[in-house]
Amino acid sequence: MNWETLLSLKRQGDTHKRLRKEQEETRLGFEVDYDRVIFSSAFRSLQDKTQVIPLPISVGSKKDFVHTRLTHSLEVSVVGRSLGRITGKQILTKYPHLKDMHGYQFNDFGAIVAAAALAHDIGNPPFGHSGEKAIGNYFEQGNGKKYKALLSDVEFQDLVDFEGNANGFKLLTESRQGVPGGLRLSYATLGAFMKYPKASLPKKPSKHIADKKFGFFQSEMDFFMDVVQELGLVTNPNNPGVGFYRHPLTYLVEAADDICYTIIDFEDGINLGLIPEEYALEYLINLVRDNINTKKYNAMNTSSDRLSYLRALAINTLIMDAVDVFIANENDILHGNFDSALLDCGKYQAQIDDIIKLSVQKIYQSTEVVDKELAGYRIISDILDLYTTALVNIKEGKDTNYDRLLVKSLPENYRNAESSIYKILLDTCCFVASLSDSAAVHIHNKLMGKQL
């Protein structure tokens, strides 16, 4: 892979090449990507999607703020921008022709990573991390099993392993009536967004980080191939047909996400009293011990100020560590030979593992989180079952008046019962994934006759 190709400004539908040196400096193409994501309805819905911890009703004297998918995504984009800018400076020093001949600036790297990071959760379903599993479970073990015989293996795998990353790619790129090309982001930003540039099959063909999950549904394969060919991504020999190694900047997007959920989920747990403050502060101190200003830290009177200081220092420490790992391994990354996340190869891996282990015990397995996930499983399964049954019945000419009423309650672009069975099922999954937590609860209550 080479950087000039990887930094492509091309957008879906372009008939001419966009050159960096011809860009309007006051509104660069990569910055337009960020704007288009943040003004999209799919991004706005993240404000009511659980990140990890459900929004608390009452937490006494504790802070009543926890992160949603939206605030998490905004913070990841900020960290990603810093990662991109710092790395970009070093890349341009190593490859001066990118600046001298083509006009690229270090801010371009920051803008690409920030936009991709902003969108990284845009395809995730409601109810936290269990949302994807709930959709997949419906097809693997629930009533959705009956559709397996009607689909190809890879189409059914798209549903069984429903993936927020693949749904995000669909949301960002799918054409709709009057809206060709979706958000029409630059191919560089789409490349950085694709954490797992492969199809759902073969499943985990290797231990390479790019093979961990999948990044596009069969419905988007043609455009996915257009993007990877334009960017010059390297074919993954473990999956030579529809599998590729990552765009290098994807590693920075992933690092930004890893940094934020490691540190900020931990902070949420402290603020809600799930993790004792003094106990938790020691974990953060262990991470930043080499960089902490002890005099400044000891002068702080409140645990809140100390926590804020340690959080900021921890994020900065991990940013610089991730950049060091990236630059040290840049050649292997360009050739597809770097098979791990950046932080997994950093010098703070042990401290990160300690924090994550405590978060799993005290936060991710807390009663509040488990209760939310249990409710989410039932809500998602019920909504999927009712809508898929109604749409398939209409397609097969077996529909009842109830089926027709149900379909009328769907947004217009999800009502097409003339599509293939695969598209009907996938679109219904994407509809459910688009719902906020509150919207899913509201729709479920209506469909179950609990409210008018």
Q: Tell me what pLDDT residue 304 has.
A: 83
Characterize 156-181 residue by residue with b for buried, 16 or more Cβ atoms within 10 angstroms of its Cβ, and e for exposed: bbbbbbbbbbbbbbbbbbbeeeeeeb
Read off the pTM: 0.94
Q: Tell me what pLDDT residue 15 has.
A: 84
Q: Give the chain's largest Cα–Cα span.
A: 75
DSSP codes joined into one string, 350-418: HHHHHHHHHHIIIIITSHHHHHHHHHHHHHHHHHHHHHHHHHHHHHTT---HHHHHHHHTS-GGG--TT
* Token pair belonging to 420: 């293939």
DSSP designation for 179:
B
Q: Tell me what pLDDT residue 143 has.
A: 95
Q: How many CB atoms lie within 10 A of CB 120?
A: 27
Cis upstream peptide for 411 (omega within 30°): no
Q: Tell me what pLDDT residue 55 has.
A: 54
Q: Tell me what pLDDT residue 217 has.
A: 98
| Cα angle: 218, vertex 223, 228; to 5 degrees | 105
Contact 209, 339 (CB under 8 A): yes
Domains of the chain: 126-161+366-452 (1.10.3550.10)
Whole-number CA gyration radius for the chain: 23
Q: Which residues, including other chains, have CB under 8 Å from residue 281's CB and lie 6 or more apart? A: 303, 306, 307, 310
300: exposed, middle or buried (Cβ count in 10 Å: 0-12, 13-18, 19+): middle
Q: Tell me what pLDDT residue 279 has.
A: 79
* Token pair belonging to 170: 């669909």
Q: Tell me what pLDDT residue 221 has.
A: 96
List of the chain residues with pLDDT < 50: 57-63
**pLDDT (tens digit per residue) in 398-411:** 999 999 999 999 99
Q: How many CB atoms lie within 10 A of CB 234?
A: 17
Distance CA 115, CA 299 (A): 38
